[in-house]
Structure 1
C-alpha cells in the first residue's frame, strides 16, 4: 500500500513500511511538516510525544486543522512531571521518555488495533536519547521501524541535527530509507 506525502521536494508517495528521518535544527519549524504528514492520506495516526504533553499535541493538531478524531496520542512526559492523568481511548501514557519498552509496546498495540492507512510521528528521537541514551533511542527506533514494516504503516521520526554529533547522525541516517532535511531557513531537501 502506498501513502501520499505532502512534503516539499520529496516524491508524491512512499510505500507502507517506510520510516522517514526528519533532520532539523533545534529551533526548526517542524510542526508544519509533521501535521501535513499526519493529515494526508491517513485513517489513523499515533503521535509519540517525548517533547510535549498530550494537551500541547492536541493544541498543535487543532491549530493546523488536523482531524483529531483520527488521532491517538502517547504522552511520555505528564506522568514524570507529576501531572495526574488517566488514559482515554485517544490518549495513553507511559512513565517517562526513557520508557522505551513502553513506547514500543503502546505503538504495537495502536498498530494492531487500528486498520487502514496508519502513520506514526515520533517527536522526538532526540528527546528519547536525552532521557535514555543514544543506543536506547537507536534500538527503539529500529524496533518501531520493524513494526511499521509488519503493519504496512509509515512513520516520521524527528532528530535534531544540532544536538547530536556527526557519527550519531550518520548512524540514524543509515537506519532509515528516507531522510528529509529541514534547514534553518525553512527549505526542505530529501534523500531517498
Structure 2
C-alpha cells in the first residue's frame, strides 16, 4: 500500500457520476483513524493525470512528422512559385535608372529559378539542391534589405526581413531533415 493512499479505503471513479468515491476494501481493514488531507489529495490526483494524457496525445503526433514536412515543403514551394511568377513581367522590361541591367538580369534569372525551386519543393525531387539555392537566395535578400535598403527586422508599415528569415530557416530545415516520406526522392529510392 502506498503512503499516499488512506488505509482501509480505495478510490474508484464511477463514469456515470464523474467523481471519485471512497469504497471500503474490506471490513477487517477499516480503521477508525480518518485519512489525512494530504493523503486524500495525493490519492485523488493520482487517477487523473491531465499532463500524462496530453503528453500521450502529443507524442503520437510524432508519427506524423512526414506530414509536417510535406506541409512545410508545400508552403515554401507555393511561396517561391508565386514570387517567381511575379517576376515574369521583368522579361519585357528594358534597363533603366530604377532597374539597372545587372539587377534586371538577376530578376530574369530568378523568374525562372524560383518557380523551378518551388516545383522541386512541392514534388520532393532534388530538394537538397533546391534548399541550398533558396537558402543562398534568402541570405542575399536579407543582406540587401539590411545593408542596402536599411530595413529592420520588423519594419512597421512595410515588411522587414522577418519573412525572409523564416523562409531561410524553413529551407535549411528541409536541407538538414530531408523531404520526408511523401516525396519523389523517397519513392524513387524504394524502387
Task: Give the TM-score, by structure 1 length.
Answer: 0.23
Looking at secondary structure, tell me which structure has more strand per residue: 1
Question: With CA pairs under 8 Å and 6+ residues apart, which has the higher RCO, 1 or 2?
Answer: 1
TM-score computed with the length of structure 2 as normaliser: 0.24
More helix by share: 2
